[in-house]
Homo-oligomer: A and B are copies of this chain.
């Protein structure tokens, strides 16, 4: 495996088209914060399988076009080469490209929308990264969220673009009587939890979720574990609080919890008991924030996308600089927290 990996890297260094393909594969993996072309390849396979199986091939095509257009735009804008090679300019445009065909009925101009949306997502990635660098925090998927919200909400003003699969704009109901009952069976929980992973890519398909889980395990077992636990926590909490059963069954209450658990529990902080507790609180917060944003967006009929993940993760990443005088080690350039007090105190 290591030899193959070295050969691939050397080939990518030498040939521009391979380098571009490598950046795109890593871009697909970076949606789940992984920097590994094999993980990306498996994720693209999951997207292909899932969208064909659910009869939404245009969503899969949109994801691919978004990934290519966003990564290409970044090349034209001559962004930082190292970040580009790690796929950091591919993941948000991929999601923009998947979201637009999912929610809009914009037949004649849809593909212009996808390409322009992916290009703008890349510009927004640069803009938000510049702002957030001040606090050492990543933009995560917020460039995708912001760009897609603009495009989806704008649809109401134009006759040539239909709101397609957007919900009907409505004020939040004080008595949510129409919520569906949840059949708490093993099958419901298992498929709901796997769909929670698939919904990161807007896929309502548990097999795709399982493939993505394998894709994560290829790169890191801790990340795969955090993903499945996050989805389970989100789904269980939604059942416990009495959310709509249909949405729970589709994995809607899982995907933000998946990303939050994975980001805090296995990527930005070093896995350890205190971090696990902290990550659990963050994952619960992501579910709350998702409920709140669902209410906020109800009058516009648009989805929260991954905004709850971004908000919860930012809120639980930003305090790290305040843990002084707790001594802390750095990791991945992102810092760790609540570590053993052996190292000398440090304020970043």
Residues of A that sit less than 8 Å from B by CB: 77-81, 109, 116, 119-120, 123-124, 126-131, 134-135, 149-161, 163, 166, 168-174, 176, 179, 240-244, 281, 284-285, 288-296, 298-301, 314-319, 321-326, 338
Contact = CB atoms under 8 A, between A and B. Distances in A.
Contacts of A176: 156-159
A124 B218 CA distance: 34
Contact of A169 (B135, B159, B171): B171
The 6 closest A-B pairs by CB, nearest first: A159-B242, A154-B291, A126-B319, A127-B318, A153-B292, A158-B241
- This chain's copy number in the assembly: 3
Contacts of A80: 322, 324-325
Contacts of A324: 80
A302 to B, nearest CB: 9
> A284, A289, A325 — which one has the most chain B CB atoms within 10 A of its CB?
A289
Contacts of A319: 77, 123, 126-127, 130
A314 B301 CA distance: 27
A160 B240 contact: yes
B158 A243 contact: yes
Contacts of A77: 319, 323, 338
A275 to B, nearest CB: 12
Nearest to A158: B241
Contact of A153 (B158, B159, B281, B291): B291
The interface residues of chain A, by DSSP majority, are classed as: helix
Nearest to A240: B160
B156 A173 contact: yes
Contacts of A173: 156, 169
A322 B126 contact: yes
Contacts of A322: 79-80, 126, 129-130
Nearest to A318: B127
B318 A157 contact: no
Nearest to A177: B159
A303 B253 CA distance: 26
Given A155-B291, A159-B242, A169-B172, 4 more contacts: A80-B322, A120-B288, A123-B319, A129-B322
